Chains A and B, each alone.
Chain A
Amino acid sequence: AQSVSQHNHHVILSEAASLELGCNYSYGGTVNLFWYVQYPGQHLQLLLKYFSGDPLVKGIKGFEAEFIKSKFSFNLRKPSVQWSDTAEYFCAVRGNAGNMLTFGGGTRLMVKP
Chain B
Amino acid sequence: DAGITQSPRHKVTETGTPVTLRCHQTENHRYMYWYRQDPGHGLRLIHYSYGVKDTDKGEVSDGYSVSRSKTEDFLLTLESATSSQTSVYFCAISESEGKGDTEAFFGQGTRLTVV
B45 with A105: CB separation less than 8 A: no
B40 with A105: CB separation less than 8 A: yes
- One of A13-21, A41-49, A61-69, A78-86 at the interface: A41-49
B101 with A51: CB separation less than 8 A: yes
Q: Which residues of B contact A101 (CB under 8 A)?
A: 33, 45, 92, 94, 104
A49 with B103: CB separation less than 8 A: yes
Nearest CB of B to A50, in Å: 10
Question: Size class of B's contact patch?
Answer: 20 to 34
Most buried by B among A9, A46, A105: A105
Interface SS, A side: loop
Q: Which residues of B contact A104 (CB under 8 A)?
A: 42
Residues A64-113 near B (CB distance < 8 A)? 90, 96, 98-106
Contacts across chains A and B counted by CB atoms under 8 Å: 55
Q: Tell me, yes or no, whether A34 is within 8 Å of chain B by CB.
A: yes
B101 with A32: CB separation less than 8 A: yes
Asked if A99 meets B50 with Cβ closer than 8 Å, knowing A44-B90, A46-B103, A90-B43, the reply is yes
Nearest CB of A to B29, in Å: 11
Contact flags (1/0) for B22-63 with A, using CB distance below 8 Å? Answer: 000000000101010000111111001010000010100000
| Residue in chain B with minimal CB distance to A98 | B56
